[in-house]
Amino acid sequence: MLGLFVASGCTWGQPSPQEVYARSLQPSQIGPVATATTARRVLTARVWADRGHRRGVLTWQVRLQEQVAAANRVLAATLGARIQVVSMQSWPHEGGRADLQVDLTALHERDAGEGVDIVIGLVSPLAVLSPALHDAGRAQMLGKHMVLRGIEDAQEHVTLRRALDEFSAEERNKLYQARMRHREVSLLLHEVGHLLGAVHMWPAQSLMNAQYSVEQSGFAPENLTAMKMALDARTTDVVSTPESQAALINYLSGIDAQYIDKESKAWVVARLGGAPARSNEERTQVDPSLTPQAKDERLQKVQQMLQRGEVEAGWQLLQPQLKQGPPTPGVLGLACELTVRRDPSMPEALQYCSALAKQVPKPPGHHLLLAHALQGAGQLSDALKAAQGAEKRLASDVQQAQPTLWTALAQTYQRLGAITWAGQAAAHGLPDVAGQIAIYCRQVRRAAWLDSAGLKPEQEPAYVGGARTLLDALRAGKSKQIDVRAAQLAKDFPGAPGPQIAVCEHYASRKRWAASDRACRRLVKLHPKQAKGHVALAVSAFARGRPSRAVASLQRAVKLSPGTKGAWTLLYSAYQATGKAKKAGQLAKRYEARFGEPLR
């Protein structure tokens, strides 16, 4: 909880307006809660994180475990159940851009759910959080599968800093983290609710409200009853039976509380095989003949939907405008942003964003949207040029600082793998987000061996992309893919030793000596001054009973890296194993003179 009297300018007595506002932003406690170990029912879960989620959410494994642990305290108290994550794996999928139903289908194709109760897919976060929970997560009703987006909101950092400038950065960050964690846990519990047959409800306090609110604090009794019925009938192999579905239909059909979303209830009953629900066409009829006033009102509604994150609804509402002749710049701007947020790989995204940047080239934001669309179309070099165009326009406008756009540029470079430029752009952006991007850049530099690669900034995207595919193959232990990707990196970036060192050490650590020899010899050939390659070759020679072959490699390693004690120790052992006692003694004296300790 934020301390209410520690911010600068605050005094004892009546709380200031900012203190009152800060209290209103605090999320509710979700409950009731109980110790998860008291749960009698364990629901096993397998987790898949796609590429976008792994890039966008730092330490995603830790974040997920914290999210599950918090949800488990509620599930234990209300259902006597808890989720147990049995595995977390990389998912070779690039999702989170379109309707999440597409990702839910892809997750089912990847993992049918055999042997577990729940399959969770983690996909890319939204650039701006939507209040609609189904823009952040989607679950299969009375099924096993759900997809969840990462929860981050750069814009909220800006809002809090401006609205609570009397509070310290630490206090604002605590509030931000509390709000994001509340949203994460609410989202997970909402989708678990759907897996167990819960329907949407209107009260802001309900976890099954379709719109997120910081007031969300628990499941309504009606939904808890439905969830308990579904849970009792559920096994790992059978999520529901005809009898349990019929019982749930009867129960839901008999509920007539005013705060239940009747559309949602009708859809769930229809999904279970009950009375048919009304179609979208029956719910909403759109009149294509629009007066000029109606057109303006429609565009205002689309803009409002876009601001609220109602992307799909906004896109559908804009269709009549797009069909009535060449779109105006205002319509193009809406169409470009909607398609990018809906799915940047769809052809319309590139069509509208290209036209927008051409017709109205001055705003840097138009070029950032174009960069996103080009990346979605797989045109990475052109996407990088569009991002550079945005940076040029931002830099030329010295009269007006635009930290939000600089942060968006940094995030664009980050997505493209232009790590150096991402860090530089972030320095002009929002301070809180700049710190996160700086951490991310350091992690990528270390993980992708970027500092030793000697690359120009414009070469980084292709290199980082190749390094990521190699890292995925190394984690999966797929030898053929490892060799192919390492060879491609060696061809494209012959001056970058990191990938070759990683492959060499990977095979050596797994005692796959033939593969280790091949990889380490390639490393030594490409980078003869890298001591690690010579040491790995020596280790392989020792393991295969050929210590004489190790001597030359270790002599070279000691010469290249005289401060590496391990190379000295291995060379001493090689001399002894090959009967070169005199050289072993001389080496021991040199070692003691250098390090001030005996060689053992």
Q: Is residue 48 part of a domain?
A: yes
- Count of domains for the chain: 3
Question: Looking at the structure, do residues 304 and 260 belong to the same domain, yes or no?
Answer: no
Q: Is residue 161 part of a domain?
A: yes
Question: Looking at the structure, do residues 216 and 253 belong to the same domain, yes or no?
Answer: yes
Question: Looking at the structure, do residues 124 and 69 belong to the same domain, yes or no?
Answer: yes
Return the pLDDT at 481.
84
Question: Looking at the structure, do residues 204 and 236 belong to the same domain, yes or no?
Answer: yes
Question: Looking at the structure, do residues 230 and 356 belong to the same domain, yes or no?
Answer: no
Written as six digits, the tokens of 490 are: 């060696």
Q: Is residue 475 part of a domain?
A: no
Query: What DSSP designation does 124 have?
Result: P
* Cα pseudo-dihedral 332, 335, 340, 346, rounded to 10: -100
Neighbours of 333 (CB within 10 A): 23
* The dihedral sign for the CA sequence 408, 409, 412, 413: negative
Q: Is residue 568 part of a domain?
A: yes
Cβ atoms of 79 and 225 closer than 8 Å: no
Determine how β-strand 145-149 pairs with β-strand 137-139.
antiparallel
Return the pLDDT at 289.
37
* The dihedral sign for the CA sequence 69, 73, 78, 82: positive
The residue range of the domain holding 238 is: 36-271
Return the pLDDT at 81.
93
Determine how β-strand 118-123 pairs with β-strand 41-50.
parallel
Residue 117 belongs to a domain with what CATH number?
3.40.390.10
Choosing from 378, 400, 422, the residue where a domain stops is 400
Q: Is residue 519 part of a domain?
A: no
- Give whole-number Cα distances, 440 to 88, 178, 408, in Å: 21, 21, 15
- In 92-180 the beta strands, taken as DSSP E runs, fall at 118-123, 137-139, 145-149
Across 109-145, b (16+ Cβ under 10 Å) vs e yields: ebbebeebbbbbbbbbbbbebbebbbbbbbbbbbbbb
Q: Is residue 260 part of a domain?
A: yes
Cβ atoms of 336 and 356 closer than 8 Å: yes
Question: Looking at the structure, do residues 256 and 312 belong to the same domain, yes or no?
Answer: no
Q: Is residue 502 part of a domain?
A: no
Residue 546 belongs to a domain with what CATH number?
1.25.40.10
Choosing from 400, 417, 451, the residue where a domain stops is 400
Choosing from 271, 302, 327, the residue where a domain stops is 271
Amino acid letter at 467?
A
Question: Looking at the structure, do residues 97 and 56 belong to the same domain, yes or no?
Answer: yes
Written as six digits, the tokens of 119 are: 């399959």
Question: Cα(138)–Cα(99) distance, rounded to whole angstroms?
Answer: 9
Report how far apart the first and last C-alpha atoms of the chain are (Å, whole number): 56
Cβ atoms of 453 and 493 closer than 8 Å: yes
| Local confidence pLDDT in tens for the 600 residues of the chain | 333 223 333 333 456 777 777 787 888 899 898 886 778 899 999 999 998 888 877 788 888 999 999 999 999 999 999 999 999 999 988 765 556 778 888 898 899 899 999 999 998 877 656 667 777 888 888 889 999 988 776 667 777 777 788 888 888 888 888 888 999 999 999 999 999 888 888 777 889 988 788 889 999 888 899 899 888 888 777 666 777 778 888 888 787 766 777 666 776 776 666 544 333 333 333 333 344 455 567 777 888 777 777 788 888 888 888 877 678 888 888 899 898 888 888 888 999 999 999 988 888 989 999 999 998 888 888 999 999 999 998 888 755 557 888 888 998 998 888 999 999 998 888 877 777 788 888 888 887 778 777 888 889 888 888 888 888 788 777 888 888 888 888 888 888 888 888 887 788 778 888 888 888 888 888 888 888 888 888 888 888 888 888 888 889 888 988 888 888 988 888 898 889 999 989 999 999 998 889 887
Question: Looking at the structure, do residues 115 and 222 belong to the same domain, yes or no?
Answer: yes
Written as six digits, the tokens of 541 are: 């020679």
Question: Looking at the structure, do residues 195 and 328 belong to the same domain, yes or no?
Answer: no
Cβ atoms of 417 and 450 closer than 8 Å: no
Written as six digits, the tokens of 228 are: 């308990």
Question: Looking at the structure, do residues 62 and 129 belong to the same domain, yes or no?
Answer: yes
| Crossing angle between the packed helical segments 169-195 and 154-163, to the nearest 10 degrees | 140
Cβ atoms of 562 and 594 closer than 8 Å: yes
Written as six digits, the tokens of 237 are: 């192999």
Q: Is residue 182 part of a domain?
A: yes
- Give whole-number Cα distances, 368 to 152, 465, 586, in Å: 19, 20, 64
Question: Looking at the structure, do residues 110 and 220 belong to the same domain, yes or no?
Answer: yes
* Phi-psi group of 44: left, alpha or beta (phi > 0 → left; psi -120 to 50 → alpha; rest → beta): beta
Question: Looking at the structure, do residues 131 and 193 belong to the same domain, yes or no?
Answer: yes
Written as six digits, the tokens of 363 are: 């705003």
